[in-house]
Amino acid sequence: MLPARNGGRYTEDFLLEVFNILFGYIQKTFTGKSKVLDFHHPHQLLEGLEGFNLDLSDQPEPLEQILVDCRDALKYGVKTGHPRYFNQLSSGLDMIGLAGEWLTATANTNMFTFEIAPVFIIMEELIIKKMHELIGWREGQADGIFSPGGTISNLYSVLVARYKFFPTVKTKGMAALPRIVLFTSENSHYSFEKASAVLGIGIENVVPVACDDRGKMIVSDLEEKILKEKEQGHVPFYVSATAGTTVYGAFDPFSEIADICEKYGLWLHVDAAWGGGLLLSKKHRFKLNGIERANSVTWNPHKMMGVPLQCSAILIREKGLLQACNQLCAKYLFQPDKQYDVTYDTGDKTIQCGRHVDIFKLWLMWKAKGTSGFELQVNKCLENAEYLYKKLKTRDNFELVFPDEPEHTNVCFWYIPPCLQGMPKDREWNVKLHKVTAKIKARMMEEGTVMVSYLPLKEKPNFFRMVISNPAANKTDIDFVLEEIERLGHD
Ligand code: ABU
């Protein structure tokens, strides 16, 4: 194959075979008859399946085997684009996004300099500007960067906020700082604890703020906790509010939280990794009112916008902070005397050196759908969630974890099997329900017909958290899930 001389024909044949495998997989993903997964335990994959051996050998294997491996790697994976895959916040398989991903892989470049990624760097600037506008930041000075996922985007927000208040941390380290503390709701993502551990702030300096039954931050508790920390001589510097919590899909009251941040001079971050997509919807945008007062926002287009993994942005309101916080001016990459405008060498804004091109698939999708296409997509998913919620309310053998209509597409519920219906809801009942949910999920995986995740939360026994971000999912798929859970849990 290429680059060998006369390798063009072999390369074409090989890539066309690969394309056929991909296209077969894509068609199967969207046909109602195919399964979401063909589950095998880790030991089965390690032992090898018929014709599919994951062991590596010293000798090259024939191309026929490589093609079988390509096919089987997809065959034994999970079809996350399947309309009955409701397991994670990111799902779906967008054809334009997929094309963007293929083209990105073919370009095989790195995002650190304009020198080697001229087109992608400009696309990133334009998309970041667009996201700023959707947030409602009026300054017109777009700043931000695409990062490897929401956890890293959230980490950037803590890093930049700390630098803003304590710039000497970059050279002197944490020893030069007082004991700094940050605040986030007890229902927020665990990435804030992770960021605090990684940045040397310490997990004990992440103060959890209480939430109401619906999972929203209680602002009076935030203020009490800030005052308590100050009394102890600690230095509050940062609050993270969430737009679409991971489990309940709750939106914190951003304007009230922003008031508190202004009062005490704190950085406000909004983790809109999941909820950011609603900014594209005229109908649902109000749920993020107040986000325009944030200093930074995390937004993952690979979630609600259906962009292929991964695609996450950290957006910073104040231009220049990211650069000042992270730049080290490595001379071999960021030569100041290049012939073009070197402010486009955005790589020194990051904590990475090499950075994957995550922008092209998003840019291409935005071109193909327009903002209005994303809006339709988001609205459809929310309509489906409302349908699921209403269906659950009519079924005696299902119980909602909280009674209110969902704000996002997260719908949390229990299936109550016949043996637990009408029984007193005591401790033993809860223990049984906890096991029932896990057992149904195990059966779901074995049968491969649907995928919905489950979890316990505080004192609540295991419940299903169903999320809808795949525009390919329809009401019939939602009906199917409920029937299937009932079937799998009948005994
Ligand atoms: N925060 C990462 C995504 C978690 C989820 O898909 O449930």
**Residue of the CA atom closest to atom 3 of ligand 1:** 89
CA dihedral 117, 120, 122, 124 (to 10 degrees): -130
Does any ligand 1 atom lie closer than 6 A to the CB of residue 451? no
Ligand 1 atom at minimum distance from 189 CA: 1
Do you find a cis peptide bond into 59, omega within 30 degrees of 0? no
Determine contact, residues 383/322, Cβ cutoff 8 Å: no
Separation CA 381–CA 363 (nearest Å)? 21
Determine contact, residues 212/252, Cβ cutoff 8 Å: no
Structural domains in the chain, sorted by start: 110-356 (3.40.640.10), 367-488 (3.90.1150.170)
Number of CB atoms found within 10 A of residue 172's CB = 11
Determine contact, residues 184/222, Cβ cutoff 8 Å: no
Separation CA 481–CA 392 (nearest Å)? 11
The torsion angles phi and psi of 391, rounded to 5 degrees, stand at -60, -45
Q: How far is CA 337 from the centre of its chain?
A: 38
Separation CA 301–CA 96 (nearest Å)? 14
The torsion angles phi and psi of 211, rounded to 5 degrees, stand at -120, 160
Going from the C-alpha of 444 to that of each of 40, 432, 436, 483, the distances in angstroms are 13, 18, 12, 12
Does any ligand 1 atom lie closer than 6 A to the CB of residue 245? no
Does any ligand 1 atom lie closer than 6 A to the CB of residue 152? no
Q: Best substitution site from 89, 242, 298 to test ligand 1's pocket, by max atoms within 8 Å of Cβ?
A: 89
* Spatial CB neighbours of 287, under 8 Å, sequence gap ≥ 6: 243, 251, 275, 278, 407, 408
Determine contact, residues 367/123, Cβ cutoff 8 Å: no
Going from the C-alpha of 385 to that of each of 106, 389, 406, 462, the distances in angstroms are 37, 6, 7, 20
Does any ligand 1 atom lie closer than 6 A to the CB of residue 270? no
Does any ligand 1 atom lie closer than 6 A to the CB of residue 250? no
Helix ranges, 108-201 (H) = 118-135, 150-165, 169-172, 191-198
In terms of C-beta distances under 8 Å and separation of at least 24 residues, what long-range contacts does 46-51 make, across chains too? Answer: 49/76
Query: In terms of Cα–Cα distance, which of 385, 401, 393, 382 is closest to 464?
Result: 401
For ligand 1, the distance from its centroid to the CA atom of residue 329, given in whole angstroms, is 35
* Spatial CB neighbours of 66, under 8 Å, sequence gap ≥ 6: none
Does any ligand 1 atom lie closer than 6 A to the CB of residue 189? yes
Determine contact, residues 38/448, Cβ cutoff 8 Å: yes
Does any ligand 1 atom lie closer than 6 A to the CB of residue 225? no
Residue written as token pair 């195990």: 442
Separation CA 265–CA 476 (nearest Å)? 50
Does any ligand 1 atom lie closer than 6 A to the CB of residue 455? no
Determine contact, residues 237/182, Cβ cutoff 8 Å: yes
Q: Best substitution site from 189, 246, 302 to test ligand 1's pocket, by max atoms within 8 Å of Cβ?
A: 246
Query: In terms of Cα–Cα distance, which of 447, 490, 484 is closest to 464?
Result: 484
Separation CA 190–CA 356 (nearest Å)? 24
Please give the average pLDDT of every successive group of 10 residues along the chain, which has 491 residues: 96 98 97 91 94 93 96 96 98 98 98 98 97 90 94 98 98 97 98 98 98 96 98 98 98 98 98 98 98 98 98 97 97 97 97 97 98 98 98 96 95 96 94 98 97 96 98 97 96 83
Ligand 1 atom at minimum distance from 150 CA: 1
For ligand 1, the distance from its centroid to the CA atom of residue 214, given in whole angstroms, is 19
pLDDT of residue 139: 72
For ligand 1, the distance from its centroid to the CA atom of residue 339, given in whole angstroms, is 43
Separation CA 67–CA 17 (nearest Å)? 8
Strand order, beta sheet including 144-147: 144-147, 312-316, 296-299, 267-271, 235-242, 180-185, 206-209
Separation CA 198–CA 106 (nearest Å)? 34
Determine contact, residues 406/383, Cβ cutoff 8 Å: no
For ligand 1, the distance from its centroid to the CA atom of residue 63, given in whole angstroms, is 37
Determine contact, residues 315/131, Cβ cutoff 8 Å: yes
pLDDT of residue 365: 98
Separation CA 353–CA 286 (nearest Å)? 38
Does any ligand 1 atom lie closer than 6 A to the CB of residue 327? no
Ligand 1 atom at minimum distance from 90 CA: 6
Separation CA 375–CA 389 (nearest Å)? 21
Residue type at position 50: E
Does any ligand 1 atom lie closer than 6 A to the CB of residue 430? no
Residue written as token pair 């945008």: 285
**What is the 8-class DSSP label of residue 283?**
T
For ligand 1, the distance from its centroid to the CA atom of residue 89, given in whole angstroms, is 5
Q: Name the 3-class secondary structure at 164.
A: helix
Q: Write out the DSSP string of 286-297.
A: GGGTTGGG-SEE
Do you find a cis peptide bond into 418, omega within 30 degrees of 0? no
Q: Best substitution site from 78, 88, 91, 298 to test ligand 1's pocket, by max atoms within 8 Å of Cβ?
A: 88
